Amino acid sequence: MHTILGAGGPTANALTQELIAHNQTLRLVSRKPVATNNPNVSWQKADLLNEQEVLAATAGSTIIYLCAGLVYDAQIWQQQWPVIIQNVISACKQTGARLIFFDNVYMYGLVKGPMTENTPYHPCSLKGEVRAKIAQQLMDESQAGRINATIARAADFYGTNSMNSFFDMMILDKFAKNTSGQWIGNPNTLHSFTYIPDAGKALFLLGQTPDSGNQIWHLPTAAPLKGKAFIEMAAQIYGTKARYSVINKLMLRLVGLFKKVVAGTVEMYYQYDHDYHFDSTKFEKAFNFKPTSYHDGILALSKSLYQKQN
């Protein structure tokens, strides 16, 4: 039994598709219903902040995937992530299930050079401090032999219709509509983006490989490109001009006065005005996995959009 906590989000959906494609039995867990018409897939309501609901939702699980996302607010993260992690740890101890936690890179802080699984934690944001704390808690439990935990990290992602990614929302969606795009930070710096379908496949592979447990993995991600290169590539694929404006930190602060989710990006601005190089060599070599190129990923998205419109 594969159980996905935080079902319904982009990564959880990609993982769900992989599990269904491989005829796995899975349980989707979330506060809001997730539609399913597959006999191998069930849905169960649970609030991850409620320990008893989490224990009930994970009963009988062999693998638990934690793919939850919280409101993009540091205070909420400080309050809720420690509770969620502790509840999930309790569920793993009760069921004996392996845990695969879908994580980000905020705990690393500003890194000069590639981010790898061995990069030390030096968070320079409140959200990064939260992520560092819960990641260390999981690895401490794992190293003590109390649970079997895997941390699977991804870079900023793209390739979803939910518009949760700034690249999807501010470049690809804009160019698809033949309008001007927007880029956060310095377009002359490098950036890495994880293709969501690749993340789903990688999480599935980790779940199928017991030896991958009790360690950290960077999910397969193509080598970084400069922001301008992303913009020009997307414009060419969508058949439009590479028109865009740049959003700086002051602009984010001003918009953040009216939109809290934008205010939450201000402390993460360092990721957009410095090189952001996410390295997934470890995973690529271990699983002989070649990440989808940015060209192929963007092209697939453009074709998917065209099919929906026609």
Whichever domain contains 252, its CATH number is 3.90.25
Do 104 and 248 fall within a single domain? no
Do 126 and 250 fall within a single domain? no
Do 183 and 197 fall within a single domain? no
Do 147 and 244 fall within a single domain? no
Q: Which domain holds residue 177?
A: 161-191+223-276+293-303
pTM assigned to the model: 0.94
Average pLDDT of the residues in 306-310: 50
pLDDT (tens digit per residue) in 104-144: 999 999 999 999 999 999 999 999 999 999 999 999 999 99
Do 99 and 241 fall within a single domain? no
Do 108 and 180 fall within a single domain? no
Specify if 281 maps to a domain.
no
Specify if 288 maps to a domain.
no
Do 56 and 118 fall within a single domain? yes
Question: Could you please report the per-residue DSSP string of the chain?
Answer: -EEEETTTSHHHHHHHHHHHHTT--EEEEESS------TTEEEEE--TT-HHHHHHHHTT-SEEEE-----S-HHHHHHHHHHHHHHHHHHHHHH--EEEEEE-SGGG-S-SSEE-TTPPP---SHHHHHHHHHHHHHHHHHHTTS-EEEEEE--EEE--TT--SHHIIIIIHHHHTT--EEEES-TTSEE-EEEHHHHHHHHHHHHT-GGG-SSEEEPP-PPPEEHHHHHHHHHHHHTS---EEEE-HHHHHHHHTT-HHHHTTGGGGGGTSS--EE--HHHHHHHT-PPPPHHHHHHHHHHHHHHHH-
Specify if 175 maps to a domain.
yes
What's the chain's average pLDDT?
Answer: 94
State the total domains in the chain: 2
pLDDT band at 310 (very low <50, low <70, confident <90, very high): very low
pLDDT (tens digit per residue) in 25-72: 999 999 988 878 889 999 999 999 999 999 999 999 999 999 999 988
Specify if 248 maps to a domain.
yes
Specify if 252 maps to a domain.
yes
CATH of the domain at 10: 3.40.50.720
Is a pLDDT exceeding 70 seen at residue 154?
A: yes
pLDDT (tens digit per residue) in 241-261: 999 999 999 998 998 787 777
